[in-house]
Structure 1
Amino acid sequence: MSKTLSAIIAGGGLGGLATAAALAQRGCDVTVYERQSALRASGSGIYIWENGLRVLDALGAYDDAVRGAFEGRAFEQRDKHGGVIDSAPVGAGKRLITVKRSQLLDALRDAALRAGVKVVTSSEVIGATPRGELRFANGDVARADLAVGVDGIWSRVREALGLETFHQQTAEGALRTVIERRPGDIPAGDAGKYIENWNAERRFLITPINETQIYLALTCPERDRAARDTHLDKALWSEAFPRWAHLIERIGADVSWGVYSIIQCSAWSAGRTAILGDAAHAQPPNLGQGGGMAMQNGLALACALEGIECAEAIPAALEAWEARERPLVDHCQKWSTLYGEVACLPDEVRTSTIRAAMAHPWVIEQINRAAHHVPTGTGERARSVSLL
């Protein structure tokens, strides 16, 4: 950007900070407004596929984000007897790591601050206009050349712009927590794996995130009140997954519960105000791409605005950005949603369905397309810009 443009961003989460860093690294004057009193990560662990890792590299946040992280070599699904339903390698030349969400957020925060981004906390955005304006709960209004709403599934920016066309909460949700990792927790034969265990409509996902911690997700329908209680019924879950009772027994009080949202919008922008991340295209976490897609689209947005010298050119640039990025996002959302549908199948049907699907080259191609896309702005030029 040869002329300094200004940008204001609602939301200081992963997508908001990635967008802020990418814009600031390209010469934009950026301010992030965060509703909470401090920048805090919600959730426990997070998957970062190749696309997200390349974005982190382009933003200069890679080393801090992945320090000590677990890099898996395969994702394995198992039935209630411990039998393998499907075992899929990550793939040659591709990467998948898992880290604590707070570590990733801190890395993006530091990259944004190094680029000159200003962060204002305790600032609740309750609306926006197509003129690049954000409206706050205290009556204030912030104005800039560009406004971006990265304010989550209940986005007030999206609501104010009237962009939502579909918002459905899924019947399934998850309890999430992090436990201490101890020697012998994971059998030697399972080293390097992410393991998802099924028993009826409940599943138990085991995800190491570093040498000392394991991220656990315990998934069930929302109507399964006994299973979804955050005061975890350890006996109930241990009975369902006895091979992992030693991990379940170690779960403490820090457990969160949440159902998933699927959100679709008529457009990702109106005038000079855009939305991205969960605000624009929330999806179930079955492919582990929610955070990666948000970061990817934030970087792509900054690339789309590079070289623009006047605010009047921003609406057309935002439309072009969406036209380039949306097909892949829609594809990823569709397949992540489809995967969630197997949760309601009987065990034997689920096993045969997954095995048949994952044996078909076309299905594998679709999933790989969602998981291994190389995002806009992660070539050599983007890295050299981000490291200035």
Structure 2
Amino acid sequence: MTQKLNAAIAGGGIGGLATAAALAQRGWDVTVYERQDALRAVGAGLYIWENGLRVLEALGAYEQATAGAFRGTHFEQRDLRGEIIESAPIQANKRLLTVPRSALLDALRDVCLKAGVKVKTCAEVISATSRGELLFANNEMVQADLAIGVDGIWSKVRTSLGLELSHEQLSEGALRTMIPAEPNDFGPDDIGKYIECWNGSRRFLITPVSKDETYLALTCPHDDVQARTIPVNKALWTESFPQWKHLIDRIGSSPISWGVYGVTRCHSWSAGRTAILGDAAHAQPPNLGQGGGMAMQNGLALAVHLEQVTDRRDIPAALERWENAERGLIEHCQRWSILYGEVTFLPDDVRTKVLRNAMLDPWIAEQVFRAANHSPTGTGAA
């Protein structure tokens, strides 16, 4: 019997677990190393577009991850007066679900365990080598046939391998939290919608994720110190978005996090038998809701490209083929996500004109939703 190839994955987040499950389901012996003391979701809610949903179906995690998920009918942008800038229907044949991030992480964890993935917590990776080695903060080291860094935007795997081309912290960030949902939160014109409200350089994004919870993202420039403070300055945000006072007043029942958006670009996604993916390789601002979807999609694609590999000496060439196949779409999504964020800094009336005219253009709409409508490698979809 041919001995299994083994993989060591740094990072037990969404991308790391999706990659681990995809490899294990293809016969690999996989261990995930997570620096926290448990697999724990960082963030609040998550958008999963058609491409991400197909990955979950391919991994067998779809039913659990999307149980009770919210499926919106429209994306709607509103100005500082609460008037509609653009209300774009979501095509019935292109799914978009929103879920608590913890629900997705739990579903991916369970398919990993079912496939035989081993998870080791309190294991902080501080560097890696091109020989498939991971070095930990306690000075221990593991060597695998394949090592993968899915260790986030500050990836130690990326930096130790010298793969970084650029790492940019953007000027905008977000406060993220969940609030309990109540029956009368939305009027007749609001039901079934993902609503993004603008006032100056502040944004208020309302995303139902289930019948019981709603995800709120309050975005602003990093130098808007009063707006990004924790605890949330409810009076300030209510002044900017008075029509949503009843939601803002409910902030505080769940954890709140602040994070500045970042972008990472790499000259390569691998060195020898060690690869990177997710935010470690291609972080993007969350404006298109594709960070998690791109990480899962790229992890599944990596496993598919390695599916026929039986000799560790063939891994570097397989990783090169994987990157060549996937990089164009990943960078396209990253580019348009960055571009969307630029409208934050336009004057309100100019922003309204730009958004309204842009989304009416079929070519621009196609570019924005290209990644969302993509069929990931290995899903069996055309």
Return the TM-score normalized by structure 1.
0.97
Residues 196-215 of structure 1 correspond to what in structure 2 (within 5 A)?
196-215=196-215
Tell whether 2:22 aligns with 1:12.
Answer: no
- Residue 341 of structure 2 is matched in structure 1 by 340
Residues 8-87 of structure 1 correspond to what in structure 2 (within 5 A)?
8-87=8-87
Tell whether 2:290 aligns with 1:289.
Answer: yes
- Residue 125 of structure 1 is matched in structure 2 by 125
Residue 99 (structure 1) shift:
0.6
* Cα RMSD after superposing both structures: 1.2
Runs of 5+ unmatched residues, structure 1: 382-388
Query: What fraction of aligned residue pairs are identical, expressed as a percent?
Result: 66
Supply the AA of the counterpart residue of 1:208: P
Supply the AA of the counterpart residue of 2:117: V
Distance 1:133 1:73 in 2: 47
Residue 2 (structure 1) shift:
6.3
Residue 48 (structure 1) shift:
0.3
Residues 220-299 of structure 1 correspond to what in structure 2 (within 5 A)?
220-252=220-252, 254-299=255-300
Q: Report the 3-state secondary structure (helix = DSSP H, G, I; strand = E; otherwise coil) of the residue aligned with 1:378.
A: coil
Aligned length: 381
Supply the AA of the counterpart residue of 2:227: A
Residue 92 (structure 1) shift:
3.0
Residue 189 (structure 1) shift:
2.1
Asked if the contact 1:128–1:157 (Cα under 8 Å) also holds between the matched residues in 2, the reply is: yes
- Residue 96 of structure 1 is matched in structure 2 by 96
Distance 1:275 1:380 in 2: 25
Distance 1:54 1:190 in 2: 28
- Deviations along 1:327-369, one digit per CA (max 9) or x if unpaired, are 0000000000000000011000100011111111110110121
Q: Report the 3-state secondary structure (helix = DSSP H, G, I; strand = E; otherwise coil) of the residue aligned with 1:70.
A: coil
Asked if the contact 1:6–1:29 (Cα under 8 Å) also holds between the matched residues in 2, the reply is: yes
Asked if the contact 1:2–1:308 (Cα under 8 Å) also holds between the matched residues in 2, the reply is: no
- Deviations along 1:238-269, one digit per CA (max 9) or x if unpaired, are 11101100000111162111101011000000
Runs of 5+ unmatched residues, structure 2: none
Supply the AA of the counterpart residue of 1:197: C
- Deviations along 1:18-66, one digit per CA (max 9) or x if unpaired, are 0000000000000000000000000000000000000000000000000
Asked if the contact 2:51–2:371 (Cα under 8 Å) also holds between the matched residues in 1, the reply is: no
Residues 361-372 of structure 1 correspond to what in structure 2 (within 5 A)?
361-372=362-373
- Residue 358 of structure 1 is matched in structure 2 by 359
Distance 1:240 1:23 in 2: 47
- Deviations along 1:257-291, one digit per CA (max 9) or x if unpaired, are 11010110000000000000000000000000000
In 2 relative to 1, CA 34–329 (structure 1 residues): closer, same or farther, beyond 3 Å?
same
Distance 2:142 2:28 in 1: 16
Asked if the contact 1:157–1:275 (Cα under 8 Å) also holds between the matched residues in 2, the reply is: yes
Distance 1:287 1:245 in 2: 26
- Residue 310 of structure 2 is matched in structure 1 by 309
In 2 relative to 1, CA 380–290 (structure 1 residues): closer, same or farther, beyond 3 Å?
closer
Distance 2:156 2:192 in 1: 41
355-364 vs 286-295, which deviates more? 355-364
In 2 relative to 1, CA 25–169 (structure 1 residues): closer, same or farther, beyond 3 Å?
same
Distance 2:363 2:39 in 1: 41
Supply the AA of the counterpart residue of 1:191: I
Distance 1:81 1:193 in 2: 18
- Residue 174 of structure 1 is matched in structure 2 by 174
Distance 1:202 1:188 in 2: 25
Distance 2:165 2:337 in 1: 19
Distance 2:159 2:343 in 1: 31
- Residue 386 of structure 1 is matched in structure 2 by none
Asked if the contact 1:48–1:292 (Cα under 8 Å) also holds between the matched residues in 2, the reply is: yes
Residue 380 (structure 1) shift:
6.9
